[in-house]
Amino acid sequence: MINNAIIGRGEYDWQAGANSPIIHKVLLKGGNWKELSIPNEIQVVNYGESNTYDTSMCVSYNSVCLPIAYILMEMLRQNMIPAETSKWLKEKGYFVNGSINFSERFVGVLGETKSNGAYQYKVANAAKNFGLVPEHLFPMADNFNDNIDPKFVTQELLDLGKEFLTHLALNYEWVNPNDTEEYLQYSPNGCIGQFANYNKPDDILDPPTKKGHAMCEVNETDEYKEIDDSYWQQFKKYKKDKLQSFMAWYITPLKTTMDTQKWVKDNDKKWVQISAGQGGGQFGRVLQGKLMMFNSSDRGTLALLDDKMRTEPSVKIISSELDQLKAADLVENF
């Protein structure tokens, strides 16, 4: 049995409906991502040759890179990505035959993939904190040990991943199993279940466990959850109780412009949180024509500020908008 996806969560992870600050907007009405099918990528290298191996990177493929690629492609289709960012993605080689193609190895290595696989949250945090690079710049190695060795991650790759995050902020949250159909409107759901194959495409799989292999939920009905997989059978249907550990992704474009004076006027006395990009999680308040920022790492203070965001008039901005306010001399520190 394949056992390459390890269940676990980070101490500060966001849970949808609990501590997550993410504001949900429908991206794909109906939530059937299968209709937007991304080209299938197989996580086995050199198949049919003497040096073939399984990368053990199902988490990288299906819980991280694939859902992000689906979302980014849909945002591009809806003209939700700034022209500057679209141009940058093309110039840097993120597209292959018209589809986004990220390096699973990059986030797999930085997410501490080992011979027994990886934790979802570690690979997710690698993408969130280090960004994503094109497949062609960091393809899979010819052998397993080199493939997971961090020494092959160059400074040039790290710099490109960092540059990616100046264009697009990545965030994720955990989703309750009973809420996945709703959340498919916002994102495909990375998940974990037992690897299985069908005899006929309409078979609804019912394996004995629900652990071991990361997949990406792309559709759901009253009878089954349908997944996109990184093996030869791309789309498969599972009984609804045979998948777990669901993760939804969100992309925030950062190369946006704002009318800074109007923003300050419109949001007078509102509480403010930086929701994405560098400085994400910081709080402030608009007072006397300025955004007054709180600089505190004290958990008690941050909890009080978070409560203000939830209970009083508030607004969220991204880091590039904060930079524009700073450039207009409209930001001060308390």
- Asked whether residue 53 carries a pLDDT value surpassing 90, the answer given is yes
Q: What is the mean pLDDT of residues 153-169?
A: 97
Q: Are residues 282 and 243 in the same domain?
A: no
Q: Are residues 41 and 131 in the same domain?
A: yes
Q: In what order do the strands lie in the sheet with 224-228?
A: 168-175, 243-253, 189-193, 213-220, 224-228, 235-239, 204-205
Q: What angle do CA 209, 213, 219 make, to 5 degrees?
A: 90
- Asked whether residue 309 carries a pLDDT value surpassing 80, the answer given is yes
- The residue out of 252, 274, 308 marking a domain boundary is 252
- C-alpha 233/C-alpha 197 separation (Å) is 7
Q: Which residue did the predictor score with more confidence, 310 or 237?
A: 237
**H or E segment to which residue 261 belongs:** helix 260-266
Residue-level pLDDT at 277: 64
CATH number, domain containing residue 36? 3.90.70.10
Domain that holds residue 281: 256-333
Contact (Cβ atoms closer than 8 angstroms) between residue 67 and residue 190: yes
Q: Which of 223, 220, 226 is nearest to 179 (CA)?
A: 220
Contact (Cβ atoms closer than 8 angstroms) between residue 228 and residue 234: yes
Q: Are residues 151 and 288 in the same domain?
A: no
What's the pLDDT tens digit per position in 274-304?
876 666 778 999 999 999 998 887 888 888 8
Q: Are residues 328 and 227 in the same domain?
A: no
- C-alpha 100/C-alpha 89 separation (Å) is 9
Q: Which of 268, 273, 306 is nearest to 290 (CA)?
A: 268
Q: What is the mean pLDDT of residues 203-216?
A: 97
Burial 72-85 (b: 16+ CB within 10 A, else e): bbbbeeeeebbeeb
DSSP one-letter string for 49-61 = STT-EE---HIII
Q: Are residues 217 and 248 in the same domain?
A: yes
- The residue out of 229, 252, 275 marking a domain boundary is 252
Q: Are residues 131 and 269 in the same domain?
A: no
Average pLDDT across the chain, whole number? 93
Residue-level pLDDT at 1: 58
- What angle, 0 to 180 degrees and rounded to 10, lies between the N-to-C axes of helices 83-91 and 155-167? 160
Q: Are residues 292 and 219 in the same domain?
A: no
pLDDT category of residue 237 using cuts at 50, 70 and 90? very high
- The residue out of 219, 252, 285 marking a domain boundary is 252
Q: Are residues 265 and 161 in the same domain?
A: no
Reading phi first (left if > 0) and then psi (alpha if -120 to 50, else beta), residue 89 is in: alpha
Q: Are residues 20 and 71 in the same domain?
A: yes
Q: What angle do CA 163, 165, 170 make, to 5 degrees?
A: 160
Q: What are the Cα distances from residue 140, in Å, to 58, 147, 233?
A: 13, 6, 21
Q: Are residues 23 and 163 in the same domain?
A: yes
Q: Looking at the 3D structure of the chain, how many domains does it have?
A: 2
Q: Express as a percent the part of the chain with pLDDT over 90.
A: 79
Q: Are residues 168 and 273 in the same domain?
A: no
Strand partners, 219: 226
Q: Are residues 226 and 269 in the same domain?
A: no
